[in-house]
Every structure is written in C-alpha cells, then in structure tokens.
Chains A and B, each alone.
Chain A
Amino acid sequence: MTTTVKSIVNQPYKYGFVTQIESDTIPAGLNEDVIRLISAKKNEPDFMLDFRLRAYRQWLKMEDPRWAAVSYPPIDYQSIVYYSAPKQKEKLKSLEDVDPTLLETFEKLGIPLSEQKRLSNVAVDAIFDSVSVATTFREKLAEHGVIFCSISEAVREYPDLVQKYLGSVVPIGDNYFAALNSAVFSDGSFVYIPKNTKCPMELSTYFRINNGESGQFERTLIVAEAGSSVSYLEGCTAPMFDTNQLHAAVVELVALDNAEIKYSTVQNWYAGDKEGKGGIYNFVTKRGLCQGVNSKISWTQVETGSAITWKYPSCVLVGDNSVGEFYSVALTNNHQQADTGTKMVHIGKNTRSTIVSKGISAGQSKNSYRGLVKIGPKAEGARNYSQCDSMLIGDNAGANTFPYIQVQNNTAKVEHEASTSKIGEDQLFYFAQRGISMEDAISMMISGFCRDVFNQLPMEFAVEADRLLSLKLEGSVG
C-alpha cells in the first residue's frame, strides 16, 4: 500500500468531535413518567401525550425484530437518555439568539446557519440531539405558504395538520422501533406545501447527535397538497464514542393528487472504529403514501455511516397512476452492517415503481438488500422494475440480496435484475499500468457503479456523495 493511501485510511472521521455545551438532560431510562416529562417539556397538547402513551403501551408488548441479516447485542433501553437539549433561551426570536457554540458546531459540519454564510437556495432545519436549534429561510418560505419548522413547533402551532397526518402513514404500532419513536420522539422537521405550490427552494434537515448517552428519535412529516412539489434532503453526523448509540427515526410523507415529493438522504453517522467498536445503530422507518392520483414519491439515499443500518424507505401507491421510486447506494466498510432496501406496495391502478439499489461492501462488512414488491388485487396494469447490484471490494466482505415479490393481479408486470461484481487487484493493476493512481481508480469505478443513483441527487449533494464514498473506501484494497 502506498503511503498516501495509508495516510488517508488513518484519517479520522471528520465529524467525530464533541461540542462542549450545557445541556438540559433527563436521567436515563424509560417509563410513562419519562414520556409525560418529555411531553411537558415541549408544552404539548393532550392529543400528543395520548399518542405517545398509546405508542409506549404498544411498544411494551412488542419484541425487538431479529429477522434482518445483522447481529448486535441486546439493547438496554433503560440505559438510554431520551431527552437532551442544549440549554438556551426559551424562545428564539432570530438566529442571533442561537448559542454561538451551536452555530459554530454546524459551521464546522459544513452547514452554516448564519445569514451571511448560509447555502443560497437551501433552507435548513438544524437538529442537535433532541431539539431543533434553528430553521433558516422561514419567512421567505412563508410568503409562498410553505410551512417548514421543527415538529415540536408544528405540534403547538398547527395541531390540526399534525393530528390529521401524524401516524397516518406509519401507525404507532407499525414496528418495534416505530412504536418506540412514537412514544419518545423529541424533534424533527415538519413540512407543509399548500395546493399548487412548487416549493421555491430545497428543504433540508441536518441531524447531529452530540450527547454520548442520548438516543436520537426524530420524527419528520411532510405533507404535499394537491398539485404541489418539494425536494427535501437530510444529512446526519455524530461524534465518535466507544459506545453504541441508538437512532430510531420515523419519516412519513403524504402526497395528494398530482403532488410530488423527492426525499434524499446522505447518511454519515459515526460507523465505529476499524475493530467495530462504537458507532450508531440506525433503525429507521421511512414510508411515503402516494394517496392522490398521479402522485409521486421518490426516495434517494446514500448510506455510508452507522455501525448498523436497518432501513427500508417505502412507497404505498394508493392513488391511480401514482409512482414510487427508490434509488440507493449503501456502502459498508470495516465491521459495518447494513440491511436496507424498500417496499413498493401497489394498490391503485397503473401504479409504477422503480428500484435501483447499489450495495458496496469492503473490509469485513456485511451488506444486504431486502426489498418487497407487492401488487394488490386491484392494481390493474401495475409495473415494477428492480435492479440490485452489489460490488465487493477485497475478499472478506459479504453481500446478500433478498427480493420478495408478491403479485395478486395478473395484469401486473414485475422485472428484477441483479448482479454482483468485484473490484479486484487485477483491475487496479490495469489502472496503475496506465498511470492512474489507486485513489482515482477506485473513485472512477465507484462513481460509475453509483451513477444511476447519484444522478437523482440534487447537484451539490451528488458531488459531495461522490467524494464521501471515495474517501470512505480508500485503503480498502491492497
């Protein structure tokens, strides 16, 4: 291995720093009192506390799912802190009121929040441990009737909308982690796009876990009214700790007639060290409901971080002619484990879905695609195309593909293609013999492999995703 490669390999996780800030943290542990306390801290209306308690009681009766191709020791839910918020003034009038330490933290993460430096056409909601610390461009969005705020504010200020849609796509008892999230979620983003409105800028939420003991349980709800459209992006990082932290999020999307939601994720949670110590357990439920006719929901994800990823962004295609898409790149290195994929549930007529999944496994990692395509009895003329490609780097990584296909309507058309390839030493030698460095060689091969997915990302993030993948992989061969 050349020295440059070595130095890049040994480069520490860039976002692994801890911000020293005074926090309002409740003691570890979970019971009904803790849930009441969280709800009280957030001044929630009764319906919300009721929602949480119902979810908690369901969760108590459920079991940790173990069907995914990942292994980890049992999680002690009583050792997790369920609420931790940086101490700052009660009500923030403007960004000037945000603790400078927090602004600095986000700036270091490449997400400037201050007026002068912010990204020009992207509105950002910044979430630090359990709370949202700032949301940019709110006034500008409000001019168009677009609501973009933290879910906590939405619960207080738009209770009717929240009550109508929260839990409508992912019911409280949907699965173990969704139930837990419904009971204890502390913050997240809320987006509402009114009728016939094209959201004038990209919306984005940046999630940061800072506290070593706290879990992050965020909740995102996006509602696109008839004829509206929005593109939303989330990014995530966390400091390096030796212990594992739990991140159990729920994202719900609702698209009404002719509405379109594009949801992109670049996930770079701390993945643990080379020996597999530490890292985030990322157990996430994401689901979109194409409720209206001709509606469209598109998920794009670039998953590079986390010790364990358990995540299946799904589309429920109820409206006739609605469209669901899933574009995914999942990269695992060292001892990372990923079990990720999607569910496309076709209910309405002429519904269409596309799945493009690219799994890259290096080191001793394990990377599985798990996907369900379900065509209901009334889904006349439904179509699905799935393509699942795996790339192995080195000899010790593993890749699995678990496609589940259920068809109950004989007019449906379902296609599935899969391939496995390998970046081998001989290919790298071929590049080297033409004068191309190992770094450039890997980066070219990975870009080529991921092109179909990167093309779906907003431009500035596509470049970032490309760079991130190359960085994560360098030194994994040779």
Chain B
Amino acid sequence: MIIENSPVILSVKNLTATVDETLILKGMNLEIRAGEIHAIMGPNGSGKSTFSKVLAGHPDYKVTGGEVMYLGQNLLDLEPEDRARSGIFLAFQYPLEIPGVSNLDFLRVAYNSKRKHEGLEELDAFDFDELIQQKLDVVKMDTSFLNRSVNEGFSGGEKKRNEILQMALLDPKLAILDETDSGLDIDALKIVANGVNQLSRADNAMLVITHYQRLLEYIVPDYVHVMANGRIIRTGSKDLALELEERGYDWVLDEEAVAS
C-alpha cells in the first residue's frame, strides 16, 4: 500500500557493482517506503538477482560506486549478518541445503541472533517451540519439517515454503524475494503468495523480483520496475506488469534506446 509520507526504508542511488571484475549494476536508483510492495521485472541477465545479492551483502559482489541507505544508515558498512539482524531478509532463488543441521536448530539460532541484536533475551527451546508452531501455519507446513535437515531432500516447493517460514519468523523490515515463483506449481505458488501477503504491513516493505507476471496476480505490487542492462529503465503501476506480459520486453528496451 502506498502511504503518504511514510518513512523511507531503502534508498539506492547510482549504485554500481561488479562480479568477477565484470560490471553488472550500472547505476541503480530506487526508493522504497514503509508499506510498499515493489516488483522488479526484466529479461535474463539484466542484473535483478545481482541487485538482491548486493543488498544482502554477498561477498562475491563488489560495490564500486553509489550509495545504499537503509533506515537512515549506510547499509554498505554492515556485515551480511548485521544486515540480516537489522531486518533485511532475502528469500533465495536457490535455497541452500545444509546437511546435518536441523531446520529447528537453524531457525532458533537465526531467531535468537536477531533477538540478541535487539538487546532482547534469547528464547529457550520450549518458548521457541511454541512460537514456531504458530509460524508453521502461515505456510501450511507440517511439524515434521522442523526435524529434517535444512532444505535437504526438500522438493522445490518445500524449499520455497521454508524460505517464507523463515521470513515469517524473522519478521523483516525489508523482504527481498528473488524469483520465489520459479519452479513452483500453482498450489505452492498460492501458499507462498498468501504467506507473503499475510506478512505485508504498513511498517515493512517487500521487493519482489520476478521474471513472470504470474506471481504478481497473487502479490499485488504498488510499483513495477523494469530492469535492463544493470539499471531500472522504467517504473509504473501494476498495469505495467500486464503490458510486459502481453508485449514482452523489447518495446521497453527500444523506447529506452530511443530516449537515450
């Protein structure tokens, strides 16, 4: 929802970044305010996933210029774990498998890291168990998920639901969903989207990265950005997504070429 004068959560200015010395982000500009849902769409290789990894602080991505302010502080100064603890959540396109570490332990340690960061007391195993049972409902997951190793042997849909479960637990200020719809059948997609919608509030924000319009039928964005060649080249309302679905990306790219 767009709320007049709501606080700025994320402000990205002229951001440039490289991977293995190759320039991928070539001047990103984006402002996200509390309550808003933004979608970034764009063809393969436009830099969408890179942008999400840069925000989360992946060590392989080097920022070479520009600035990123998050809740009034310089995000680029923070270690990845501190970004996470202060409320940035990235739902991975390909969630990692962690053999030998139970989902329950993983969730508890993650949750307590955040509590500690906020100066709160860590939850013991019993209190945590109560909390996580409630969160399981958000993504309609069975308790047995908790005792399995993190993502190990999970189906594609289960992995994505596990991401949303983590998101529900960690209650981020800024959630970034990187192609969360990829590899999901329609039922799983509905569960995931429903989970995300439940978590969207006036005091947080979502950045949904997707290739297809399909997800946006369920998670309705306030803004749709088209990314190409490392920059946002067009911003519009949710209708832009429908237009892209119908006409493809070429016309936006052509208009952009003419304009510049």
Select B149's contact among A433, A437, A448, beta carbons within 8 Å: A448
How many B residues are at the interface, by size bracket? 20 to 34
Give Cα A88 to B102, complex, Å.
Answer: 53
B135 to chain A, nearest CB (A): 14
- Verify if B166 is at the interface (C-beta below 8 Å from A): yes
A29 within 8 A of B: no
State how many angstroms separate the Cβ of B220 from the closest Cβ of chain A: 26
A-chain residues with CB within 8 Å of residue B83 when the two chains form the complex = 433
Contact A436 B99 (CB under 8 A): no
Partner of B98, one of A425, A427, A437, A440: A427
**A 438-453 binary contact with B (CB < 8 Å = 1; else 0):** 1010001101110100
Given A2-B79, A429-B58, CB of A435 within 8 Å of CB of B110: yes
- Of the residues B59, B81, B98, contact of A435 by C-beta under 8 Å: B81
B37 interface hit (Cβ, 8 Å):
no
> Which residues from B are CB-within-8-Å of A437?
81, 113
A residues in contact with B105, CB < 8 Å: 444
Does A22 belong to the interface (CB within 8 Å)? no
Give bound CA distance, A425 to B58, whole Å. Answer: 9
B residues 31-61 in Cβ contact with A at 8 Å: 56-60
The proximity string for B residues 50-90 relative to A, scoring 1 for CB distances below 8 Å and 0 otherwise, is 00000011111000000000000000000111011100011
Question: Which residues does chain A contribute within 8 Å of B96, judged by CB atoms?
Answer: 426-427, 430
Identity of the chain B residue whose Cβ is nearest the Cβ of A450 in the assembled complex: B100
Contact call B166/A421, Cβ cutoff below 8 A: no
Residue numbers in A under 8 Å from B166 (CB-CB) = 434
Asked whether any CB of chain B lies closer than 8 Å to the CB of A432, the reply is yes
Determine whether B140 belongs to the interface, using a CB cutoff of 8 Å to chain A: no
Cα-based distance from A447 to B101 in the complex (angstroms): 8
Q: Does A100 contact B (CB under 8 A)?
A: no
Which positions 382-441 of chain A face chain B at CB distance < 8 Å?
Answer: 421, 425-427, 429-438, 440
Q: C-beta contact mask, B93-107 vs A, less than 8 Å → 1, else 0? A: 001101111100110
B234 CB within 8 Å of chain A: no
B80, A433: Cβ atoms closer than 8 Å? yes
**In the bound complex, do residue B90 and residue A445 qualify as a contact, i.e. CB atoms below 8 Å apart?**
no
Q: Verify if B161 is at the interface (C-beta below 8 Å from A).
A: no
Contact B60 A435 (CB under 8 A): no
Task: Tell whether A445 pairs with B98 under 8 Å between CB atoms, given A430-B92, A432-B84, A435-B114.
Answer: yes
Name the B residues within 8 Å of A421 (CB-CB). 99
What residues on A are CB-neighbors of B59 within 8 Å?
425, 429, 478
Contacts of A432 in B (CB 8 A): 57, 79-81, 84
B117: Cβ under 8 A from any A Cβ: yes
* A197 shortest CB reach to chain B, Å: 38
A6 to chain B, nearest CB (A): 13
Contact indicator A435/B101 (Cβ below 8 Å): no
A432 CA to B166 CA in the complex, in Å? Answer: 13
In the docked arrangement, what's the CA distance between A436 and B110, Å?
6
Q: From A429, A433, A448, give the contact of B101 (CB < 8 A).
A: A448
Nearest chain A CB to B189 CB, angstrom units: 23
- Contact partners of A451 in chain B: CB under 8 A: 100
11 contacts between A and B (CB under 8 A): A427-B98, A429-B56, A430-B96, A432-B81, A432-B84, A433-B84, A434-B106, A435-B84, A435-B117, A436-B113, A444-B106
